[in-house]
Each structure stands twice: as C-alpha cells, then as structure tokens.
A and B are shown apart, each in its own frame.
Chain A
Amino acid sequence: MGRYVLRRLVESAVTFVLATIVIFLGVRALPGDPVRALAGEENDPQALAEIRRAYGLDESIVVQYVRYVGRALRGDLGTSARTRLPVAETIGHALPVTLQLAAFAMVVAVLIGLSTGIVASVRRRTASEWAANTVALLGLSIPVFWFGQMVILLFAIAYPVLPASGFVSFFSDPVQSLRHLLLPGLVLGSGLAAVIMRQTRSAMLEALGSDYIRTARAKGLGGAQVVFGHALRNSLIVVTTIVGLQLGALISGVVVTEQIFVVPGFGKLIVDGVLTRDYPMIQGLVLVTATAYIAINLLVDLLYSVIDPRIRVGGAVL
C-alpha cells in the first residue's frame, strides 16, 4: 500500500511539472499581443512599451517561465493584468463558488443518475425503463447553453420563482444559496446524471445476472437487500470511477454554466481572462485546474483500494 501511494505521488509530481510548461507555452501561443489588449483603445508606442516592461513581457520566454515557476512555488500566482488584484486571491474567491456549484451539481447528478439507473435495470422492459432511458438521452444530447437559457426563460422570466443569475454562499445563507444554485446545478448536473445513469444501469444489469445474486436470492434474501446490498454495492466501483473522472470535468465544465448564470466562479474567470488576454490570470487558473485533475485522479486511485481490496493487494506487489 505504501509503495503504491508513493509511486502515484511521484507520477503526480512529474505530471504537475509538465503541466506548468504546457500551460506557460500554451498561453503564449494565443493569437494577439496581450499588451494591445491591456492598452484598450489607445495605441501610444511609449505607453505600450511601458506596459510591456511593467508585466515583464519584454523578457525572454525562458526568463519569464523561471520567474513564473519560482513565484508559483511560493504560492504567488502574480497579479491580474486587468484588475491588478492578486491572482491567487481572485482564484481564492472564485474557487469556493465553483466548488459549491460543482458539489451541488454532483449531488443532483448522483441522485438522478443512480435512481434512474437502478430503476432502468430492475424494471426492465417497462415504461419506467423507457422513461429513464429517455431522460438519459436528453441529458446527454441537450447542449448546456440551450438548456440553461430555457430554464432561465421558464423559471426566472415567465414564472419568476428563481433568480436568473448570481450566487450566495451556502455558509452565509443556505436557503438563498439553494435558490441560486438550483438552476445552474440542474443544468450542470444533467449531462453527468445521464452518464451515471447509463453506467449504473449497465453495471447493475451485469451484477444482477451474476451467480452470487442468484445464490443470494436462493438463500431467501428480499428484493431490496439483493438490489441495494449486493448488486448496487458491486456496481458502485464503476460509478465511483465515473464520478471521480467527471468531477474534474465538472470543475472545468462550469465554464458555460457560469457564463449563462453569471456565477462568479472559476469558469467565468477563465472566459473573461482569455477574452482580456490576462496572462497571469489564465496561467493561474489553468494551473489550479491541472492540479485539481491530478489530485482527483490520485484520490480516486486511492479510493479504489478502499472500495475493492483486490486493487490494494495488487498495488502492494507492484
């Protein structure tokens, strides 16, 4: 177990270093001169040169990279070129917002996905399975930007029961927070719910056809005990993998949802950062996203070994 964890940690560290290089070069490959984006409408050569110097953009790329990594390791992600507020502080404000939205969307997705997945596998060839499959298909095929606009039109404009935009922290006002999170959470979670539903259904079908389930039934166990105690538990390994992978995607996938619902989170920062060529901001954001991916993958790998002891045993001899 210890060696397995160590090996995964080293792999993660290497991935992290590679990520910083890709992020740094990727941002610089964006078309357009960031100095022009910063200068607004003005085009005075002296002013442009001054901006270039002030942001260290007149240095060579290698010098810029070394400085960037040096500061990043100390937790300093630089200063936003747009607002001149510290990037780390700005991300610090945005990250809890996105995490709350992602967590809420995940809860929505798991509730919808698991329940419809179980129904679809247990009640085969009934209207319930058909309905669950339809929901999954819609969840997968409806684009987020369209779904988002539709729920706003419906629940914020035509029947104004929920706010169209904004965010309130769960920790400051839980009721208002849920009101603000409901629409973006539903939109963000819908695609993931469909994925979870399909995975749950197929894993459950496989489990329900297994010998140990037949044995359990033969021993006289009730339907609920068989489904939840045996089939679902064994199916959860696949579902957990999907949830883990999708949590990373969810954090970066909030880009569209946050734009539509004007949620001041991570996704909105990314879009606005790219539009304004805010190099330090984009670098900081992508670095945090990459770190989140690496950390979540690591976490999921470790969770495997808790849920399924065979992986822990296998890992120990690696």
Chain B
Amino acid sequence: MDALRRAAVLLVLAVTACSSIDSTTPAPSNGPDNRPLKNGGELRVALSAEPDLLDPTLARTLVGRTIFNAICEKLYDVNEKLAIVPQLAAAPPEISGDGKTVTIKLRQGLKFADGTTMDAAAVKTSLDRHRTLKGSARTSELSSVDGVDVVDQATVAIRLKAPFAPLAAVLADRAGMIMSPAALTAQGDKFATNPVCIGPFKFSSRVAQDRIEVVKDPNYYDAAKVHLDKVTYKIIADSSTRFNNLRSGDVEVLDTVAATDVDALKADANLRLLTSASLGYQGITVNIANQNGVGQAPGTLAAPYAGPLAADVKIRQAFELSLDRDAINTVVFRGQFSPACGPISPDSELSSDAAQACPKHDVAAAKSLLSQAGVSIPVKVGMVIGTDAQARRLGEAIQAQVREAGFDVELQPTEFSASLDQTDKGKFQLFQIGWSGRVDPDGNIANFLKTKGSQNISGYSNPDVDSLIDQARATTDTSRRRDLYGQVITKARADGSIIYLYRAKNLLGVSAKIGGVKLFGDGILRFGEAGFAVGS
C-alpha cells in the first residue's frame, strides 16, 4: 500500500511541477546590462559539443573558439559591430603600397600566462608554427603569407605572396593567436594538454567529454577588469538536458538554445536570452557538375544524380521562386531566424543592396519558368538532409512548398558525417547544408563559389565569378570590395548553385544572476568581463 501511496504522491508532484514550469512570468529585458558585478565566483557554462585540441594551430571545431576566447587572445578581434579592432596588436595593420607587406605594431609589456613576455619574436614563432607545423589547421588560412620578419621588439612584418585583404580578419581568429614560445618548447606536441597564451583566464584542467576549467590569470594585462575566479565549461550534447541544467541552476550559461526552447526560456524570470545574428547562412546546394569530387574540375553528371535541376538554370530559378523563406522561418523556427538570399551577413560592412537582393515567393512565375523549360511535371529530385528533428521539419517545409510549383522532392535523411562524405564525392542532387560564417565575406564565398574551391560541392564554375572574387581579395578599398562582392553574388545567384534560405541566430541562455556576458555575430561567448551581479 505504501508503494501505491508513494506513486500517487509522485504523480501529483509531477503535475504540480509541470504547471509551475509553464508559468508565464515576463522575462527581464535583453537590453544593455549595466548592473554592478562582484568579484569572485565560478561560472558554469554548458557547451553543446566537445572542443577538439586546445592548440590554436591544430584546433578545428567552432566550439573550441569559445574556450580560446578565454585563454588565447589574438592579434586582432572583432567588436560588437563586427569591425576588426586590435587586441594584442597596438594598431590596425599598415599595408605597403604594393599590398604585399603588412606591418603590425604590438602592445608592449604583455605577459603570457607562464609569466614570460610577449614580443615580436614570440609572434613570429606562433605565426610560423601556424603556417608550417605538420597537421596545422591554419595552413590554408595563411596560405597567402610568404614569410614573417621581426622588425624590432614590438613590430612584425608579414610578407604576402599577393595582396590579400582578408588577412586582418584571418588574424582575428585562431591564426592570430599567439602562444608562449617557452611553453611551446617545453611541451612540444603536448601543448594542447596545457595551452599557454595571453587571456583573461588561463587553462587549468580538462576531463575529456566532461569539463574544461580555466582560472583567472593574474598576469593578464587587464586583470583588474576580470571579475570571475573560474569558468567551467561542461559538455552537454542534448539540448533539453542543457536547458534543464540551466533551469535547475546547475549551469549559469547555456550555449545554443534550441529554437523550440526559446519561448520557455523567455517565460522564466530567472533566465535571460542573448541573441546575435549569425555570420553564416543555411541553404540548399545544387549539384550542377560535381562528377569528379570536390576540388576537381567540373564534369557532366551521370545517373542517378543528373536531372533537370542540374541541367537547366531556369529550373533552379523556378525552384527558388517556389520557396517562401518567411513561411519557413515562421513554421520551422518560430520566427527566431531571418530569411537569407546571399552569403554575406547584412551586418557586415561589405554588405550591399545587391548582396541582399531577394526574389519574392512567386509560384506563378515558377510554374511559368517550368513550362518554358518544357520539362514534364512533377520534376523529381532528391534532397539530402540531416537526421535531427529540425532538419526533418525544414525538409518537409521545403518539400511542401515546392510541390505547389511542380517539384517532387524526395527527402534523404543522412547522418551528418556520412552526408559530407557523400556530397564531397558528388553523390547527390540537392543538399541542405550551411556554413557557420566568417568575419570577412571572402570566408563565406571563395571556397564555395570559385571553380575547384575546397567547399564547392556543387561543381559550380563561372570564370567571371572567379575573377571578381580574386579582385575583391586583392583590394583593401572597402567600397570597391563591397561593389565587387555585390557583383559576385548577383552573378552566382543567377546561376543558382546555392539557394540561400535563412540566417540563424546565436541563441544564448543566461541566468539572470550573471552580467557582462558578450555575444557578437561570430557566436563566440566572451566572459572576460562577466560576473555575478551584486546582490544575486
């Protein structure tokens, strides 16, 4: 009988629990947070995935950049407007007349976490390591660099093979992180197990698949502004588990709130939602000519991947016109994201009207294009999508929308890693995939749209586009670059190798007790000036 009573009590408690969780207390404002913060305390952060190696030269995962933000500063950084600003450098880069020498002045008196001093030789050591270390993930980012020279103790000169405007943006990411030469020598290939750089925090410990801990670094040049004693990053892959941990107070910050949890988070008075527009995009890549594999010369597709969409640009345009981006955003993402028609974020200083131009949803025009093309209706096509619930919802929305115009989309849910493998080899017709985005638009465009680009799985090739991309790389004149990227996007969109769909938002859940957390468009979490609010 006791067991029965216990079960009944449990059931009643469960019902009470659910009703109290669904309360609709208004959320505090997400505006500027100017509350005074107290010193001390440990911030616990739930990350969605395990970062890979904590070595700036070898690291590849996006999630790892959040850890590096705490422990490894860069020559340059971005501010909230995504403008590039000096971090370890003392001033913006000076570019020589021929565009092939970039001189960087360094801040002086800065100390690494191990107490050694940062100077030009240390910068050269790090940049050379990024360029030449076996297995470096930075090699291609720095492929334009011919060599690095120490001019004096506080100045380095970077020699380029050809003018390369995105260099400052590259140095505002992992390729610009400066490591302690003493630690590099002492630790050799074990540097990732105890990375030593300059940052508000220094590496403390790591338990694989569980946690990474960083502690306040007294050697940091701005240590007075650092409030927290410690930041612990916990790895929690499941989104609802992450959310439960934020609600229970087991973590104070949650990286990547699921779009479906946003309403519940906003309704909780103890939590705040921080958002920023992503630098990346999501879209549908059309296999036009990837017969020989990515990075190889385009060819003619054979069955079963050949089809009307690959063969005729009009049909690709009809497919795009039949998509209703606003409806996708509303239905699939509860209006959290923004429709997108091109690879450049509207927040970028290199964005333009041409870069953001977007055709309206027009089923009649789509039908008319299909009839002009003279294809038999329905046009059958397969689309590789992810295996998670959100990917399926997106796929089904696309499938339903284009059906109206006369397309019959077969959804092909494929495990992510397998889908990359398959689409690299050209074994697909359509692929729903996106890109996390880079500060400089070159990172969102060149590899995807240039002939034989390393991410050009469409097999797209247009010599005009190639030439415009090269010109945009070579000039440092912002308005000229803006104009060139506008032209690139106009031409590429007309060719329809990638049908851009939407731009996600970085969604961060934060306990109301915490202030000073910064989230910019790059999606990296910045805790350098974060802390517990006074009185919390």
**Interface residues of A, Cβ cutoff 8 Å to B:** 31-34, 36-47, 50-51, 54, 80, 82-85, 90, 93-94, 116, 127-128, 130-132, 134-135, 138, 149-150, 152-154, 156-160, 163-166, 259-260, 262, 264, 268-269, 271-273, 275-277
| Contacting pair A39 B248 (CB below 8 A) | no
Name the contact of A42 in the complex, choosing from B140, B415, B424 (C-beta under 8 A).
Answer: B140
Distance between Cα atoms of A271 and B241 in the complex (Å): 15
User: Other than the known A45-B295, A128-B1, what 13 A-B pairs have Cβ atoms closer than 8 Å?
Assistant: A32-B417, A43-B455, A47-B140, A85-B206, A94-B209, A150-B14, A152-B244, A154-B17, A157-B21, A260-B238, A272-B50, A272-B209, A276-B50
Residues of A within 8 A of B241 (CB): 165, 259-260, 262
Q: Choose one: B7, B13, B235, B435; the contact of A41 (CB below 8 Å).
A: B435
**Which residue from A37, A51, A259 sits with its C-beta under 8 Å from B237?**
A259
B: which residues have CB within 8 A of A?
A: 1-4, 7, 10, 13-14, 16-18, 20-21, 49-50, 52-53, 60-62, 134-135, 137, 139-140, 192-193, 206-211, 234-238, 240-241, 244-245, 247-250, 294-295, 414-421, 424, 435-436, 447, 454-455
- Residues A134 and B4 in contact, CB atoms below 8 Å apart: yes
A156 engages B248 (CB within 8 Å):
yes
> Are A132 and B14 CB-contacts (below 8 A) given A41-B436, A82-B52, A163-B248?
no
Asked if A153 and B420 make an inter-chain contact with CB atoms under 8 angstroms apart, the answer reads no
Could you tell me if B135 and A50 are in contact, using CB atoms closer than 8 angstroms? yes
Which A residue's beta carbon lies closest to that of B293? Answer: A45
Q: What would 6 A/B residue contacts be, using CB atoms closer than 8 Å?
A: A41-B435, A51-B135, A84-B193, A149-B244, A262-B236, A276-B50
Q: For B414, list chain A residues within 8 Å (CB).
A: 31
Report whether A269 and B209 are in contact in the complex, using a CB–CB cutoff of 8 Å.
Answer: yes
Alpha-carbon gap, A38 to B421, bound state (A):
12
Task: Please give the distance in Å from A86's CB to the nearest CB on chain B.
Answer: 10
* Chain A residues, CB < 8 A from B237: 259, 271-272, 275
Task: Name the residue on A nearest B63 (C-beta).
Answer: A40
B53–A84 CB distance below 8 A: yes
Q: Judging by beta carbons under 8 Å apart, are A135 and B21 in contact?
A: no
Bound-complex Cα distance A94 to B211 (A)? 12
Whether A157 pairs with B244 at a CB distance below 8 angstroms is: yes
Question: What residues of A have a CB within 8 angstroms of the CB of B416 in the complex?
Answer: 32
In the assembled complex, the CB of A193 is this many whole angstroms from the nearest CB of chain B, namely: 11
B60 and A46 form a contact (CB under 8 A): no
Query: Do B250 and A165 have beta carbons less than 8 Å apart?
Result: yes
Give the residues in chain A near B295, CB-CB below 8 Å.
43, 45
A211 to chain B, nearest CB (A): 32
Contact residues of A: prevailing secondary structure = helix
Residues from chain A with Cβ under 8 Å of B424 in the complex: 36, 43
In the complex the two chains form, is B17's CB within 8 Å of A45's CB? no
In the bound complex, CA of A164 to CA of B244 (Å): 7
Known contacts A36-B420, A38-B60, A272-B237; A163 and B250 CB within 8 A of each other: yes
B16 interface neighbour in A50, A127, A158, Cβ under 8 Å: A158
Q: Are B50 and A82 in contact (CB under 8 A)?
A: yes
- If A50-B134, A135-B7 touch, whether A40 touches B52 (CB-CB below 8 Å) is yes
In angstroms, how far is the closest chain B Cβ from the Cβ of A269? 5
List of 9 A-B pairs having minimum Cβ-Cβ separation, nearest first:
A32-B417, A264-B210, A158-B17, A40-B60, A31-B418, A32-B418, A164-B248, A156-B248, A131-B3
Distance between A250 CB and nearest chain B CB, rounded to angstroms: 20
A33 to B454, CA, bound (A): 17
A51-B135, A158-B20 as given contacts; A262 in contact with B417, CB under 8 Å: no
Are A160 and B248 in contact, with the CB atoms below 8 A? yes
**Separation in Å of the A120 CB from the closest CB of chain B?**
10
A206 to chain B, nearest CB (A): 23
Write out the residue numbers on chain A whose beta carbons fall within 8 Å of the beta carbon of B415: 31-32
CA gap between A160 and B14 in the complex, in Å: 13
Q: Report A89 CB to chain B, min CB distance, Å.
A: 8
**Residues of A close to B238: CB separation below 8 A:** 259-260
**Looking at the complex, which one of A44, A154, A264 makes contact with B209 (CB distance below 8 Å)?**
A264
- Listed residue (B10, B14, B208, B415) with the most chain A CB atoms within 10 angstroms of its CB: B208
Q: Do A131 and B14 touch across chains, with their CB atoms under 8 A apart? A: no
Closest chain-B Cβ to A75's Cβ sits at a distance in Å of 18
Nearest Cβ in chain A — how far from B424, in angstroms?
7
State the CA gap A308–B218 with chains docked (Å).
66
CB distance from B433 to the nearest CB of A (A): 10
Contacts of B16 in A (CB 8 A): 158
Partner of A262, one of B14, B21, B245: B245
> Which residues in A have their C-beta under 8 angstroms from that of B436?
41
Nearest chain B CB to A93 CB, angstrom units: 6
User: In whole angstroms, what is the CA distance A32 to B211 when docked?
Assistant: 27
What CA separation (Å) do A37 and B61 show in the bound complex? Answer: 10
Q: How far apart sit A160 and B20, CA to CA, in the bound complex (Å)?
A: 13
Distance in angstroms from A130 CB to nearest chain B CB is 8
Residues of B contacting A273 in the complex (Cβ-Cβ under 8 angstroms): 209
**A158 to B137 Cα, complex, angstroms:** 46
A90→B21 contact, CB < 8 A? no
Q: In the complex, what residues of A have CB within 8 A of residue B249's CB?
A: 160
Task: Report B219 CB to chain A, min CB distance, Å.
Answer: 26
Q: Please give the distance in Å from A238's CB to the nearest CB on chain B.
A: 23
Interchain nearest-CB distance for B60 vs A (Å): 4
Asked whether, in the complex, the Cβ of B60 is within 8 Å of the Cβ of A42, the reply is yes
Taking a contact as CB atoms under 8 Å apart, the answer to whether A156 and B417 are in contact is: no
Q: How far is the CA of A156 from the CA of B210 in the complex (A)?
A: 20
Residues of B within 8 A of A84 (CB): 53, 192-193
B7 touches A36 (CB 8 A): no
Q: Given A42-B137, A134-B3, do A152 and B248 touch, yes or no (CB 8 Å)?
A: yes
- Would you give the shortest CB distance from B231 to chain A, in whole angstroms? 16
Q: In the complex, are the beta carbons of A47 and B139 less than 8 A apart?
A: yes
Q: Contact check: which of B21, B139, B247 meets A46 at CB < 8 Å?
A: B139
Shortest Cβ gap from A279 to chain B (Å): 12
